[in-house]
Structure 1
Amino acid sequence: MSYNKILHCRTTSTATLYNFNYLMQLSEELKPLHHLLEASKFMVSEEVREKFQQNLKRFMIPKGRVLVDLGQVSPSLYFIEKGVMRTYYLRGSEDITSLLVSEGDIVCIAESFLLQKLSNEVLETLEDTTVYAISYDSYRKLVEEDSYMGKLAVRLLEQHLINFTDKVKVFKYLSVEERIAHYISQPSSLFRRIPDHYIATYLGTTPATFSRCLKTVPFDKNRP
């Protein structure tokens, strides 16, 4: 089965990911707001747009910084303006990458953020990263004050479920070689931008197998 017929969008795991890279052309001031609002077909009042914008805070985070650690509660929803982040969990002494995100993505540890429970994953930066963040309290207040924002939250949860299902399909139907070929062929691929071992565990394989498969998987060897 061709992997091109199985997956047509980026995938995720227990973190929430929505990719709207075309919005990068928007102004710096409005871009974070549009990331979320453009995810839904529901109209949102101008008052809610302004409230949402007022609750966003911009942070510049250095490479290697942990935003959510094991056993902590995920405090915020993050809109990535620049940089790369990942989530991972521990399997014994090994950390397994569950999500890779970059410019134009929205991310949080979904279960921890939405339920305000202790996280079983870590969220960290892989590059110097600039984000816009909205706290859980601000997010909940907006959702409760405006019915359209509540509907938007439901749409985001639905998209999270669809993305998770897509990743399950990838692991069910594609071989390791096909997973690697599919990933590195995507324009949004972080191949050669971050260490290979992060991508390897994200795709459910070992760094050694990933390196071996690269010798047989066709890709542009001159890409940056």
Structure 2
Amino acid sequence: MQLSEDIKPLHHLLEASKFMVSDEIREKFQQNLKRFMIPKGRVLVDLGQVSPSLYFIEKGVMRTYYLRGSEDITSLLVSEGDIVCIAESFLLQKLSNEVLETLEDTTVYALSYDSYRKLVEEDAYMGKLAVKLLEQHLINFTDKVKVFKYLSVEERIAHYISQPSSLFRRIPDHYIATYLGTTPATFSRCLKTVPFEKSRP
């Protein structure tokens, strides 16, 4: 199955920002990005909160998850070069039904909702850039749907760990298992049949 190229949006955004026509907008964009380090295990958005910012990940790993009964199900795994928020909560400024947390000590650039709206509304270039990022997000989401629709659990696991963006070895297997729609026990069993280097760093 042919999937789209794995693209890290932050790299494209920072590269594109070099070519902003307006020096004023470029400076405003950089001034609105707040860089800070978030410790491992910190919840940035909890259930029932409004997602306040876009986070551009410089280093580290984050995930989003939702609850199904007493079990948490990982819905997104992101790392260096990715942009993350609880999309529906951030864009509509409504209460979140998912949680955003760090899985490693993570360094981010944060852009608040108000700053994001002002930038995309005041500058046509930034507006087009936001559309491009949303288009790429949609493509990535469509690819994940294809993986779930056409691949068996074993094939999903093999596909995931072969990707350059795979967080296999960096985070606990049970997060990856729920992200791929399977159980930790099945994930562990399937790993035995997947051709890869099994030793942990």
Q: Same-fold call, TM > 0.5?
A: yes
* Cα 1:167–1:25 shift into 2, 3 Å: closer
The structural deviation recorded for 1:222 is 3.5
Number of matched pairs:
201
C-alpha separation in 1, matches of 2:89 and 2:158: 32
Q: Which residue number in structure 2 is paired with residue 181 of structure 1?
A: 158
The answer on 1:96 being equivalent to 2:73 is yes
Per the TM alignment, residue 26 of structure 1 is displaced from its structure 2 partner at its CA by 27
Offset at residue 152 of structure 1 (A): 1.6
Query: Is 2:129 the partner of 1:149?
Result: no
Q: Any idea what the Cα deviations from partners look like across 1:77-103, whole Å, max 9, x if unmatched? A: 001111110000111111000111111
Structure 1 unpaired stretches of 5+? 1-23
Q: Contact (CA 8 Å) 1:33, 1:53: kept in 2 or not?
A: no
Secondary structure class of the residue paired with 1:157: helix
Cα distance in structure 2, aligned partners of 1:169 and 1:30: 17
Go from structure 1 to structure 2 and tell me whether the alpha carbon gap of 1:114 and 1:193 turns closer, same or farther (over 3 Å shift): same
In structure 2, distance between residues paired with 1:149 and 1:105: 18
Conserved? CA contact 1:80–1:131, under 8 Å: yes
Contact 1:32–1:132 (8 Å) recurs in 2: no
2:190, 2:18 → 1: CA distance? 41
Q: How far is the alpha carbon of 1:27 from its aligned partner?
A: 28
Looking at structure 1, the residues matched to 31 and 45 of structure 2 have their Cα atoms a distance apart, in angstroms, of: 23
**Residue 35 of structure 1: CA displacement?**
4.6
Cα offset, 1:181, TM superposition: 0.5
> Deviation string for 1:18-50 (max 9, x for gaps)?
xxxxxx999999999865254699854222111
Change (3 A) 1:25 1:157: closer
CA contact (8 A) 1:88 1:121 kept: yes
The offset of 1:212, in angstroms, is 0.5
Instruction: State the Cα RMSD in Å.
Output: 5.2
Partner Cα separation in structure 2 for residue 31 and residue 46 of structure 1? 25
Closer/same/farther in 2, CA of residues 40 and 181 from structure 1, 3 Å limit: farther
Measure, in 2, the Cα distance between the counterparts of 1:48 and 1:62.
31
- Report % sequence identity: 96
Instruction: Flag as ranges the 4+ runs of structure 1 deviating above 3 A.
Output: 24-35, 37-44
* TM-score, normalised by the number of residues in structure 1: 0.81
Q: Quote the residue 2:147 is aligned against.
A: 170
Q: Which runs of 5+ in 2 are unaligned?
A: none
Q: Render the CA deviation track for 1:116-144: whole Å, top value 9, x for unaligned.
A: 11111100001111111010000101111
